[in-house]
């Protein structure tokens, strides 16, 4: 289903013609792809956009032909740079003091807004007095817009003759993805790498330089303002961007189907597919306990009593309630000290949330990522201290 972004795939032309044709297939000889394509609603733009012959040649480079893409990092951390913008600006000027005449510096940045569902990217070339911003046809994440900015900047200077071109970018993720040839991380990466290969064979060397964002570096601020202005005013070029709509659509369909048949809170409260970092733990024992608590299939009395008549479903500590996840985490007086400790620890981290099962289990989708991490950490501490981990 990633074929719209992988034109080099041998199945590309087949799926292109299948998705375009209105042929009626006999029930027993319908190609399986046709069923999926129809299920995903063909009216939605899921079919490959361009004819196979129109696709640019962006075949991944085989591993033995990979080369190193030079990357440099600004000598200050993001936090330190933000705290002292004057020092950051002075350090940056000192580094770039002796810029040779055959060297070109390009500043790139992207901006994306979840409310207006608009994504823009921009680049700024001080030496050539060029400021360009682009509005992407479809909203995407900040990683993709940063990459698109680099792609557009390289395309702009494609026919120029320089000895060295340095791209100043404030996204380490984007730079690392290019440097490590992460072909599938974004549709734009093959395009960028393809351009770098062409630049290298023609003469100019491409270098990436990570700079901290919003910390007094003039070029970065200009690129940022350009990208932001492009989002608010709709000026700038319109860019046809093709995110992987088919994949997103298919994932949402699978999730909806899973939600209807599941009773697991970890599944029902999900808003998207994929792994949540706070649901996992590097220690297998803890990870297993967290999974069991979320799914309800644990070794607590209520669960065990369903398969063994001799086991009493009630709480081990003399309560009259059934011993399950909700009871031990929210109601059992035996663990009240641990519960208070958990609430206090969360309050210390400025987290004041209703203490309920979805919140504690990391299944409340309205809680931000860092808070989810803090809650999971505290819960693990409590599970170990009360030795509940042995019984789950």
Tell me which residues touch Zn ion (CB under 5 A): 315, 317, 319, 332
CA-CA distance, 279 to 361, in Å (whole number)?
8
Closest separation in Å from C-beta 390 to Zn ion: 16
| 185 contacts 144 by C-beta, under 8 angstroms | no
Instruction: List C-alpha distances in Å: 384 to 53, 121, 157, 339, 343.
Output: 60, 47, 58, 13, 16
Closest separation in Å from C-beta 292 to Zn ion: 18
Closest separation in Å from C-beta 119 to Zn ion: 51
Closest separation in Å from C-beta 327 to Zn ion: 6
For residue 200, give both structure tokens: 């290298």
Query: For residues 121 and 332, which CB has a smaller minimum distance to Zn ion in the complex?
Result: 332
Instruction: List C-alpha distances in Å: 8 to 46, 72, 131, 244.
Output: 17, 32, 33, 16
| 233 contacts 224 by C-beta, under 8 angstroms | no
How many Cα atoms occupy the beta-carbon half-sphere of 330 within 13 Å?
15
Query: For residues 315 and 351, which CB has a smaller minimum distance to Zn ion in the complex?
Result: 315
Closest separation in Å from C-beta 247 to Zn ion: 46
Region for residue 170 given its phi and psi (left: phi exceeds 0; alpha: psi -120 to 50; beta: otherwise) = alpha
Longest dimension (CA), the chain: 85
Query: For residues 145 and 332, which CB has a smaller minimum distance to Zn ion in the complex?
Result: 332
Closest separation in Å from C-beta 387 to Zn ion: 15
CA-CA distance, 43 to 25, in Å (whole number)?
19
Q: What is the CA radius of gyration of the chain?
A: 27
CA-CA distance, 362 to 380, in Å (whole number)?
12
Query: For residues 113 and 330, which CB has a smaller minimum distance to Zn ion in the complex?
Result: 330
What are the φ and ψ backbone dihedral angles of 216, each rounded to 5 degrees? 95, 5
Query: For residues 283 and 317, which CB has a smaller minimum distance to Zn ion in the complex?
Result: 317
Closest separation in Å from C-beta 384 to Zn ion: 19
Closest separation in Å from C-beta 286 to Zn ion: 22
Closest separation in Å from C-beta 320 to Zn ion: 9
CA-CA distance, 24 to 36, in Å (whole number)?
15
Query: For residues 185 and 319, which CB has a smaller minimum distance to Zn ion in the complex?
Result: 319
Query: For residues 188 and 301, which CB has a smaller minimum distance to Zn ion in the complex?
Result: 301
Query: For residues 99 and 314, which CB has a smaller minimum distance to Zn ion in the complex?
Result: 314
Query: Could you report how far apart the first and last alpha carbons of the chain are, in Å?
Result: 39
Neighbours of 7 (CB within 10 A): 20
Neighbours of 364 (CB within 10 A): 18
Closest separation in Å from C-beta 314 to Zn ion: 8
CA-CA distance, 31 to 14, in Å (whole number)?
11
CB within 8 Å of 153: residues ≥ 6 apart: 106, 108, 123, 125, 167
Query: For residues 191 and 327, which CB has a smaller minimum distance to Zn ion in the complex?
Result: 327
Query: For residues 184 and 336, which CB has a smaller minimum distance to Zn ion in the complex?
Result: 336
For residue 301, give both structure tokens: 């009395």
DSSP-assigned beta bridge partners for residue 130: 125
């Amino acid at each position: 289903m990633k074929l719209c972004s992988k034109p080099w795939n041998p199945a590309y032309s087949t799926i292109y013609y299948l998705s375009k044709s209105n042929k009626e297939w006999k029930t027993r000889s319908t190609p399986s792809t046709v069923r999926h394509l129809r299920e995903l609603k063909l009216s939605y733009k899921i079919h490959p956009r361009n004819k196979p012959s129109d696709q640019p040649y962006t075949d991944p480079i085989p591993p033995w032909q990979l080369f190193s893409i030079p990357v440099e990092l600004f000598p200050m951390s993001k936090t330190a740079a933000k705290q002292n913008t004057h020092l950051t600006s002075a350090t940056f000027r000192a580094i770039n003091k002796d810029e040779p005449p055959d060297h070109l510096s390009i500043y790139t940045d992207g901006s994306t807004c979840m409310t207006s569902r608009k994504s823009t990217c921009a680049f700024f070339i001080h030496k050539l007095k060029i400021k360009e911003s682009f509005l992407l046809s479809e909203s995407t994440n900040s990683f993709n817009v940063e990459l698109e900015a680099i792609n557009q900047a390289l395309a702009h200077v494609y026919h120029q003759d320089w000895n060295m071109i340095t791209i100043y970018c404030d996204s380490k993720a984007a730079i690392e993805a290019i440097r490590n040839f992460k072909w599938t991380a974004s549709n734009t990466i093959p395009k960028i790498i393809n351009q770098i290969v062409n630049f290298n064979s023609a003469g100019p060397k491409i270098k990436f330089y990570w700079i901290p964002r919003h910390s007094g570096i003039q070029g970065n601020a200009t690129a940022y303002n350009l990208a932001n202005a492009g989002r608010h005013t709709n000026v700038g070029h319109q860019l046809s961007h093709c995110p992987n709509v088919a994949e997103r659509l298919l994932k949402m369909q699978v999730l909806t189907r899973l939600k209807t048949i599941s009773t697991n809170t970890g599944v029902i409260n999900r808003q998207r597919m994929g792994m949540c970092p706070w649901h996992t733990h590097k220690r297998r024992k803890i990870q297993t306990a967290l999974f069991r608590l979320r799914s309800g299939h644990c070794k607590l009395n209520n669960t065990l009593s369903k398969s063994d008549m001799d086991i009493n479903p009630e709480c081990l500590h003399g309560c009259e309630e059934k011993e399950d996840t909700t009871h031990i985490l929210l109601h059992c007086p035996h663990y009240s000290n641990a519960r208070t400790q958990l609430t206090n620890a969360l309050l210390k981290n400025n987290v004041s949330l209703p203490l309920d099962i979805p919140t504690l289990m990391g299944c409340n989708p309205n809680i931000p990522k860092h808070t989810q991490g803090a809650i999971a950490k505290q819960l693990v501490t409590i599970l170990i201290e009360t030795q509940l981990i042995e019984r789950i």
